[in-house]
């Protein structure tokens, strides 16, 4: 059974097998958690992302999918990059957001990762409302069959932490 834990802090500081990056489809870096992961993990991660763009993902990583690279200098073994949907008030993109969590866990299983840390995907630059983002994250992890034993949500601020705490109850 998977244990869900909540931590307030910086995802790049976590000791887990795999850290999930809320990437953009270019895979070539961005702001927010993406920028923090590349800064802390060093150029090896970007090199691996460039290789992916030159091979499997010539047009970029589609929204809702996930792919793993080295974690470079991070203490984790892998970074799993996933692309969340941009929030839309007129179109329901929840399935894509749930897919980010589900596909990341599927990739973790393929890698043999047992502990994984997630940020609150799409709730930053992509503007997904934090309470709804938290609900989708928790519901998806709870309903996914996986060999991962710990899913750690790493929440950057108090508001995100509270939203996840509420969704967990």
Joined tokens for residue 71 = 């974690």
Q: Is 11 in the site for ligand ADP (CB under 6 A)?
A: yes
CB of 151 to ligand ADP, least distance (A): 14
Of 119, 146, 164, 167, the one binding ligand ADP by CB under 6 A? 119
CB of 47 to ligand ADP, least distance (A): 21
User: 């990762």: which residue's tokens?
Assistant: 113
Q: Is 12 in the site for ligand ADP (CB under 6 A)?
A: yes
Size of the site for ligand ADP (CB under 6 A): 21
Per-residue b/e over 71-95, b at no fewer than 16 CB within 10 Å? bbebebbbbbbbbbbebeeeeebbe
* Cα separation values, 6 from 87, 125, 143, 162, Å: 23, 21, 18, 10
- 50-109 residues near ligand ADP, rule: CB under 6 A: 84
Q: Is 136 in the site for ligand ADP (CB under 6 A)?
A: no
Q: Is 42 helix (H, G, I), strand (E, B) or coil?
A: coil
CB of 133 to ligand ADP, least distance (A): 8
Of 29, 32, 42, 60, the one binding ligand ADP by CB under 6 A? 32
DSSP string, 125-144: TT---HHHHHHHHHHHHHH-
Q: Smaller CB distance to ligand ADP: residue 55 or 162? A: 162
- The verdict on whether 157 is a catalytic residue reads no
* Ramachandran angles phi, psi of 119, nearest 5°: -85, 175
């Amino acid at each position: 059974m998977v244990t869900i834990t909540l931590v307030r802090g910086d995802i790049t500081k976590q000791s887990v097998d795999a850290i999930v990056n809320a990437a953009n489809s270019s895979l070539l870096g961005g702001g927010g958690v993406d920028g923090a992961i590349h800064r802390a993990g060093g150029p090896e991660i970007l090199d691996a992302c460039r290789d992916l763009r030159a091979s499997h993902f010539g047009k970029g990583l589609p929204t809702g999918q996930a792919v793993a690279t080295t974690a470079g200098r991070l203490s984790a073994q892998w970074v799993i990059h996933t692309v969340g949907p941009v929030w839309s008030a007129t179109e329901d993109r929840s399935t894509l957001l749930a897919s980010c969590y589900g596909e990341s866990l599927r990739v973790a299983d393929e890698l043999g990762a047992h502990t994984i840390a997630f940020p609150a995907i799409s709730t930053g630059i992509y503007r997904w409302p934090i309470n709804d983002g938290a609900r989708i994250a928790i519901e998806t992890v709870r309903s996914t069959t996986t060999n991962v034993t710990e899913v750690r949500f790493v929440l950057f601020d108090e508001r995100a932490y509270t939203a996840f705490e509420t969704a967990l109850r």
